[in-house]
Amino acid sequence: MNWDLIWSSFGPLITGAVTGTIPLTLASFAFGLILALVVALMRLSSNWLLSGIGRFYVSVIRGTPLLVQLFVIFFGLPSIGIRLDPWPSAIIAFSLNVGGYAAEIIRAAILSVPKGQWEAGHTIGMSRPQTLVRIILPQAARVSVPPLSNTFISLVKDTSLASLILVTELFRNAQQIAAFSQEFMALYLQAALVYWVICLVLSTAQSAVERRLDRYVAH
């Protein structure tokens, strides 16, 4: 074992996490959540066309592998004249993917808020959108934090797939050092370790968020 090499590899791996994995995750999750909210509202809409489109979208995203979605966008789209760089391709693919999964979470969370809360909003004169934003979504947020955290943590790990479309991130750096040094076991375990640490930090953050959102609930 080349301990010097192993030790000095943490630098590029952490750099890859900070400049690749983490921004890719944050951007994709942010766009994905916005998309998910829109799709959730479409699915809850009484307009059959909107809800049908929402249902179709969720079905396609959940029914196809993320890697295939990523390849369609990066390698497939150029054949119809749409050429995207690795980063935008990755962000689009991951956002669409998060959008599909999180839409179902948000939809279920909105439905879990008792009907009486809508009525209370209406009786104080609020419109439906106003009630949604001020009364329903804050309560739905509490319900959806644990499952959304799962989606978020999955996303952190899924971004490693972006290495396959040449995005420079944690795992691609690990692959390159491994190929060059032939220390496959060490480098891939190191990469695993860095992912694990990131996810540990996120789990802690999740607990903090849940505690904060639970402050108005009886324990």
Partner 1 sequence: MSPTNNPEPRAASVLKARNLAKAFGSNKVLRDIDIDIRRGQVVALIGPSGSGKTTVLRSLNGLEVPDGGTVTFGGTGTNGDTSGGLSIDFGSKVGKKDIAALRDRSAMVFQHYNLFPHMTVLKNIIEGPVQVQKRPKAEAIAEAERLLERVGLADKRDAYPFELSGGQQQRVGIVRALALKPQLLLFDEPTSALDPELVGDVLGVIKELAEEGWTMVIVTHELAFAQHVADEVIFMDGGVVVERGPAAEVLRAPRQERTKLFVKRLQHDV
Closest approach of partner 1 to the CB of residue 76, in Å: 44
Residue 138 C-beta: closest distance to partner 1, Å:
5
Q: What is the DSSP letter of 159?
A: G
Nearer to partner 1, 47 or 127 (CB): 127
85 touching partner 1, by CB under 8 A = no
CA distance 153 to 205: 11
Out of 11, 65, 138, 146, the residue judged to bind partner 1 by CB under 8 A: 138
H runs (alpha helix) in 74-183: 86-112, 115-123, 128-131, 137-158, 170-181
Is residue 209 close enough to count as binding partner 1 by CB under 8 A? no
Contacts 24+ apart (CB under 8 A), 37-41: 37/103, 37/106, 39/99, 39/100, 39/103, 40/103, 40/104, 40/106, 40/107, 40/110, 41/132
Report if residue 146 touches partner 1, rule: CB under 8 A: no
Among 70, 135, 177, 194, binds partner 1 (CB under 8 A): 135
Instruction: Kindly state whether residue 1 participates in binding partner 1, applying the rule CB under 8 A.
Output: no
Among 67, 82, 111, 120, binds partner 1 (CB under 8 A): 120
Q: Does 144 bind partner 1 (CB under 8 A)?
A: no
Distance, CA of 32 to CA of 96 (rounded, Å): 6
Q: How far is the CB of 215 from partner 1 (least distance, A)?
A: 7
Q: Which of residues 174-193 bind partner 1 (CB under 8 A)?
A: none
DSSP 79-95: GGT----HHHHHHHHHH
Residue 86 to residue 130: CA distance in whole angstroms: 39
Quote the DSSP letter at residue 64: S
Smallest distance from partner 1 to CB 115, Å: 9
In the numeric block, the tokens 């590899």 are attached to 9
| Segment interacting with partner 1, rule: CB under 8 A, options 8-16, 17-25, 162-170, 211-219 | 211-219
User: For residues 152 and 32, what is the distance between their CA atoms, to the nearest angstrom?
Assistant: 10
The conformation of residue 26, written as its DSSP 8-state character, comes to H
Does residue 125 touch partner 1 according to CB under 8 A? yes
Q: Which is nearer to partner 1, 131 or 151 (CB)?
A: 131
For partner 1, give the closer residue by CB, 43 or 142.
142
* Residues at the contact surface with partner 1, assessed by CB under 8 A: 114, 116-117, 119-120, 122-127, 130, 134-135, 138-139, 142, 215-218
